[in-house]
Amino acid sequence: MRIPVQGGAELHASSKFRAWRAMSEESAPHPMPVRQHQHCVKTLLPRKPIWTWKLQQLTRLVRESHAQPMSGTHGLPAAVSPHEVGVMFLGHSSFLLQIGGVNVLVDPVFATRLIVLRRQRRPGVRIEDLPPIDVVLITHAHMDHLNKPTLRRVARRTRQLTGTAPVVIVPSGVADLVSRLGFARVEELAWWQTIEVSGLTITATPAKHWGARMFRDTHRGFGGYVVDDRAGGRVYHSGDTAWFDGFAEIGQRLRPQIALLPIGAYFPDSYRHVHTSPEEAVRGFVALGAETMIPMHFGTFRLGREPMEEPPVRLLAEADRLGIRNLVRVLAEGETAVFRAPTEISPPTGAQSKAKQTDLFAAASKDL
């Protein structure tokens, strides 16, 4: 069973669009920016009455997405000291970062469905079990990353706990989508722009993807973030991206310690124009020179056409092949990885010598 909706621009609120999108995603050869996408859809449409066909596709989509009950259990945030960095996996691309004594949510999506697509794994935490959130980071406006009901609930919950709502940071051109959800402040960042908030330095990073949530809103930005606690804790969340040379530049400029990288929605191969395969994500990790890789964007929503269980298997096989299995942490939903400040890590494992990194990168690039 597989839901033929790819990870990305998927998603609109109207039922008309739902039907169209379900149909078009089924037909599209790969997830691509909408203009190209529409062209391909036209050329691939079957010769039967369009609404009959759309209805069949929608019915199938809904049926498949409900075929299995949701699995997984909620967890509780771990106790993390201000001198440590906690990375809690909440499912898909959602994380709770506890860094520098500050609580940061990245791309929180707690919805049980995206329009008609049913979630396959429960979120790693309940919203009511979250600590007060200081900052919310949104990488781009695609529905599996920006979920308005979740954001409204997160803002309200923190306001109830502390009297103050979180700050939300979004890419350029995305502020209008979050401006009325109850946040204390909305900040937009372009690539490489930096903001100081709650004692953290947050930098927006480039990506190879696209940002339109609907058809014509191609002005919306997209990307990732590096969150720096200025004490050695630096976490990079790439957002959605294909492989690109920007990984090396991000590594050189911002030197992330922990890299959260996407490994799902890569099949068929043409999807890799906008999403990394597990092997490409490993290559990105090596190019970054980070110390630990934590995978994301798999297991929760059926977005690509690869088997749901395949991404982490391929990821670990590639890490084994390169001899860096000890640098990869696959987290279950609700699990927190706690890292000490890098100065206490001895010896540093991932920030390899330049020569070792070059060798690894050559090996990681083989056959890609």
Contact range with Zn ion by CB under 5 A, out of 140-148, 172-180, 212-220, 245-253 = 140-148
* E strand or H helix that includes residue 311: helix 310-322
* Shortest Cβ 88–Zn ion spacing (Å): 19
Among 240, 280, 291, 318, binds Zn ion (CB under 5 A): 240
Q: Judged by CB under 5 A, which stretch of 73-81, 82-90, 125-133, 143-151 contacts Zn ion?
A: 143-151
Separation of alpha carbons 212 and 355, rounded Å: 40
Q: How far is the CB of 8 from Zn ion (least distance, A)?
A: 4
Instruction: Name which of 26 and 144 has its Cβ closer to Zn ion.
Output: 144
Point out which span in 4-12, 74-82, 121-129, 329-337 binds Zn ion (CB under 5 A): 4-12
Q: Pairing between strand 185-189 and 167-171? A: parallel
- Is 144 a binding residue for Zn ion by CB under 5 A? The answer is yes
CB count within 10 Å of CB 141 equals: 25
Cα separation values, 206 from 173, 240, 246, 343, Å: 15, 10, 7, 28
Distance separating the N- and C-terminal Cα atoms of the chain: 28
| Least distance (Å) between residue 313 CB and Zn ion | 20
* Consecutive H or E run containing 65: helix 50-65
Residue 173 interacting with Zn ion (CB under 5 A): no
* Closest listed residue to residue 81, CA positions, set 53, 101, 106: 101
| Per-residue three-class SS string for 241-260 | CCCCCHHHHHHHHHCCCEEE
Site string (100-139) toward Zn ion, x via CB under 5 A: ----------------------------------------
From candidates 4, 6, 8, 229, binder to Zn ion by CB under 5 A: 8
Tell me the torsion sign for CA atoms 198, 98, 258, 205: negative
Which two tokens mark 65?
């997405």
Minimum gap (Å) between residue 222 Cβ and Zn ion: 7
Q: Which of 30, 121, 142, 283 binds Zn ion (CB under 5 A)?
A: 142
Q: Closer CB to Zn ion, residue 144 or residue 306?
A: 144
Q: How many residues bind Zn ion (CB under 5 A)?
A: 5
Q: Of 146 and 293, which CB lies nearer to Zn ion in the complex structure?
A: 146
Distance, in Å, from the CA atom of 229 to the CA atom of 138, rounded to the nearest integer, reads: 19
Of the candidate residues 4, 5, 7, 225, the single one contacting Zn ion (CB under 5 A): 7
Minimum distance from CB of 2 to Zn ion (Å)? Answer: 16
What minimum distance in Å lies between the beta carbon of 169 and Zn ion?
17
Phi, psi torsion values for 157, nearest 5 degrees: -60, -45
Alpha helices in 145-238 (DSSP H): 148-162, 175-178
User: What is the nearest approach in angstroms of Zn ion to the Cβ of residue 5?
Assistant: 11
Q: Judged by CB, which is closer to Zn ion: 218, or 352? A: 218
Residue among 247, 230, 299, 284 at smallest CA distance from 90: 299
Would you tell me which residues interact with Zn ion (CB under 5 A)? 7-8, 142, 144, 240
